Amino acid sequence: MKKVLVLAVTLVMIISLAACGGDSDLPSGRLKVTIPDGFEEQSDVPEGISQYWLAEDGSNINMSETDSDPSVENAKEDQLLTMVKDQMEQVFGTEVEAEMVYFEGGEFLGAPGYSMSIKYSVQGVEFTQYQIMVATADGTYACTMTDMTGEYEDTFKSMVESAVIE
């Protein structure tokens, strides 16, 4: 459980590194997704996370929010991978292998944003993280799924398909 919370907090730190002021040309609203069966909402939420769901196998989903940052539209695959890898290594205090599996940036749901997935290996533990991020006039929202089993890729794709800004 402690490692799962560390992973969630790491992603919040990464997201907050990019946060800056708002932009009135952005659409209004918040990112909303449908949480799949098997993930239970937790009342003990890591700092910086607005909502947190946990599956029995340790996989988790979290939603986080920072100030509006339209620069996420300019996110680059190699920069994100380097930043995430460096943050993970600081948190775990050991070398982390990280490989970007998928990245699509520019716009998501009519707002600046991106979606990506990264495979990790940390001290012999392999997992994948999936993330969508959008910037609206109300804030920058990220939905991140940490898949500890390798079985949730289709589940995350369904979450992406359910995503709306409202």
36-86 pLDDT, tens digit each: 999 999 999 888 899 999 999 999 999 999 988 888 888 889 999 999 899
Task: Return the CATH class of domain 2-165.
Answer: alpha beta
Q: What is the pTM of this model?
A: 0.83
* Domain spans in the chain, listed from the N-terminal domain onward: 2-165
Query: CB of 57 within 8 A of CB of 39?
Result: no
Alpha helix segments (H runs only) across 18-162? 77-92, 153-162
pLDDT at 3: 54
